[in-house]
């Protein structure tokens, strides 16, 4: 047997002994006729790779007429597109309505003022006051008006010491602690320096020049300590003194753009809105709080007061009972009316001023000047400390009132139309009124209130005013009336309000 035949037989034997190497397509030989396990590689004789054009070839192609024209076309298109975008941007800027510059705003215009005339009733003295500042911060309070705190016996001029805190109220160190914590929270503190605050003649009028000198010296002392302003009552009396300019200089002097201004705040009572306007102009007082809203009980009179004073809104404080240091609930004898007046005060053109407890409808008992503040209203009764049905209903209503107050305060701080916007009267009647607040390109707001005991339909009309128009409908933003659901639409030619109800409507700016 030849060697080649022996090799072929050995390959057959190996294939039979190693079946896992047989093709998996069947029992026959592979289609290619190749043996199992063998691999054929086809090596190309010549492998061609593209390496691109050389620099000389590129330069030769780039100089051809076709590529030259293409480059010029693309360059022209680029510059035409760039110039077109620039021109479009200029047209948009020119045609777009210009934003109106924001008027000068002082800190006392940026949020509500909250006065605490009785420190003991509020926080059991100055020592416990600082712990209550978180509560004030939640209400978006911008300014606290404290006191008077100084030492004096009623109608005893000899005991008057405007630079010393009455020991029963606390100490100067307690006041410094309040100032430091309040300033960290962006809250300003004003001190009431009404001299004879518990007496019949607040200014010891027979010795006015002497008293004015003491007030001026005391103002300098407290302002140096860190107090942010001075409040005085019966503004018509000290403003007639020859030394009035000295007090103004002590409070308002050395104002710079870098430093926050100190406020000179005055209170007047039993004056008409036109007289208040004159007083603002002639005395130079930064903020004048009057009792106009309390004395004017008709919608017509209250609208007239806003007509007289809206142009001076940065110097006007509005309150209902605040000028007398009374609680709002003394005049608004129901939760519905308290909500109504909250809404009115927060949306009027000027600074809202409240007395502590107004946010929860607090009211003093007969014969008590200032009620004890109620804290922990969020604390619900437990089995260990149960509460009767009446007490629990009162607690829940106070929680709801505070939530309402807080929502309005937050809205006023955020919305330019309510913060410093223009004012336009829309309607007035014996027990109802409506007005419009707007600023430039911001959302517009309409306040409509009915404090009467009958349902009233208000037909809102805007006097002919250039650039200002009322839409046919507006959206309910906030309402005390369950029938006027939030976000629902309402026709402005017939706004129907049930007794003691109020609504804040909103509509957008349309350029």
% the chain with pLDDT above 70: 87
The residue written with tokens 């129901």 in the block is 334
- Angstrom distance (rounded) from CA 171 to CA 478: 43
Q: What per-residue confidence (pLDDT) applies to 71?
A: 79
- Give the pLDDT of residue 357: 97
105-152 per-position pLDDT tens digit: 899 999 999 999 999 999 999 999 999 999 999 999 999 999 999 999
Domains of the chain: 107-414 (3.20.20.80), 423-507 (2.60.40.1180)
- Section 318-325 average pLDDT: 96
pLDDT (mean) for 403-426: 96
Question: Percent of the chain scored above 90 by pLDDT?
Answer: 72
**Average pLDDT for 92-101:** 68
Q: Tell me what the pLDDT averaged over the chain comes to.
A: 89
Mean pLDDT throughout 54-73?
76
The Cα–Cα gap between 31 and 37 comes to: 14
Do the beta carbons of residue 232 and residue 192 sit within 8 Å? yes
- 344 phi and psi, to 5 degrees? -65, -50
Q: What is the pLDDT of residue 28?
A: 47
The pLDDT-based confidence of 259 (bands split at 50, 70, 90) is confident
pLDDT digits (tens, 9 = 90+) for 420-476: 999 999 999 999 999 999 999 999 999 999 999 999 999 999 987 777 889 999 999
Please enumerate, as own/partner, the contacts of 374-381 that have beta carbons within 8 Å and a separation of 24 or more. 374/398, 375/132, 375/135, 377/402
Q: How far apart are CA 422 and CA 311, in angstroms?
A: 8
Mean pLDDT score, 18-41: 48
Query: In angstroms, what CA-CA distances link 429 with 74, 238, 256, 306?
Result: 72, 37, 45, 14
For residue 1, give every residue at least 6 positions away whose Cβ sits within 8 Å of its Cβ, in sequence order, or none: none
| CB 89, CB 503: distance < 8 Å | no
Instruction: Answer yes or no: is pLDDT of 75 > 90.
Output: no
Confidence category of residue 51, pLDDT binned at 50, 70, 90 = low
**What is residue 65's predicted lDDT score, i.e. its pLDDT?**
80
The pLDDT value recorded for residue 103 is 80
pLDDT of 402 > 60? The answer is: yes
């Amino acid at each position: 047997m030849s060697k080649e035949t022996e090799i072929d037989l050995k390959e057959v034997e190996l294939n039979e002994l190693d079946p896992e190497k047989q093709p998996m397509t069947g029992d026959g030989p592979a289609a290619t006729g190749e043996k199992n396990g063998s691999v054929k590689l086809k090596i190309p004789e010549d492998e061609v790779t593209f390496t691109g054009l050389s620099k000389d070839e590129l330069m030769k192609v780039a100089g051809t007429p076709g590529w030259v024209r293409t480059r010029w076309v693309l360059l022209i298109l680029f510059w035409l597109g760039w110039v077109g975008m620039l021109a479009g941007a200029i047209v948009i800027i020119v045609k777009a309505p210009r934003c109106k510059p924001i008027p000068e705003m002082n800190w006392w215009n940026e949020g509500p003022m909250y006065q605490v005339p009785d420190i003991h009733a509020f926080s059991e003295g100055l020592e416990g006051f600082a712990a209550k500042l978180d509560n004030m911060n939640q209400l978006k309070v911008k300014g606290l008006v404290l006191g008077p705190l100084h030492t004096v016996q009623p109608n005893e001029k000899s005991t008057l010491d405007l630079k010393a805190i009455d020991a029963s109220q606390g100490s100067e160190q307690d006041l410094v602690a309040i100032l430091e914590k309040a300033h960290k929270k962006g809250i300003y503190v004003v001190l009431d320096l009404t001299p004879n605050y518990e007496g019949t003649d607040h200014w010891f009028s027979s010795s006015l020049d002497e008293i004015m000198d003491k007030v001026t010296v005391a103002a300098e002392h407290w302002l140096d300590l860190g107090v942010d302003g001075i409040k005085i009552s019966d503004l018509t009396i000290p403003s007639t003194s020859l030394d009035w300019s000295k007090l103004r200089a002590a409070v308002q002097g050395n104002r710079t753009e870098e430093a926050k201004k100190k406020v000179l705040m005055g209170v007047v009572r039993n004056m008409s809105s036109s007289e208040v306007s004159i007083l603002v102009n002639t005395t130079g007082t930064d903020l004048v709080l009057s009792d106009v809203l309390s004395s004017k009980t008709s919608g017509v009179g209250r609208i007239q007061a806003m007509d007289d004073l809206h142009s001076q809104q940065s110097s006007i404080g509005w309150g209902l009972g605040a000028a007398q240091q009374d609680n709002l609930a003394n005049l608004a004898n129901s939760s519905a009316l308290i909500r109504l007046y909250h809404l009115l005060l927060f949306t009027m053109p000027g600074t809202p001023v409240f007395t502590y407890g107004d946010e929860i409808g607090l009211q003093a008992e007969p014969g008590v000047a200032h009620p004890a503040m109620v804290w922990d209203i969020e604390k619900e009764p437990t089995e260990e400390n149960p509460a009767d049905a009446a007490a629990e209903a009162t607690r829940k209503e106070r929680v709801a009132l505070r939530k309402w107050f807080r929502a309005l305060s937050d809205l006023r701080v955020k919305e330019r139309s309510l913060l410093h916007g223009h004012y336009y009267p829309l309607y007035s009647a014996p027990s109802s009124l409506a007005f419009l607040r707007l600023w430039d390109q911001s959302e517009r707001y309409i306040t409509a209130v009915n404090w009467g005991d009958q349902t009233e339909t208000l037909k809102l009309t805007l006097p002919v005013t250039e650039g200002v128009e009322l839409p046919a409908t507006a959206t309910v933003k906030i309402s005390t009336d369950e029938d006027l659901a939030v976000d629902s639409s309402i026709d402005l030619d017939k706004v129907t309000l049930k007794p003691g109800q109020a609504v804040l409507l909103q509509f957008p700016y349309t350029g």
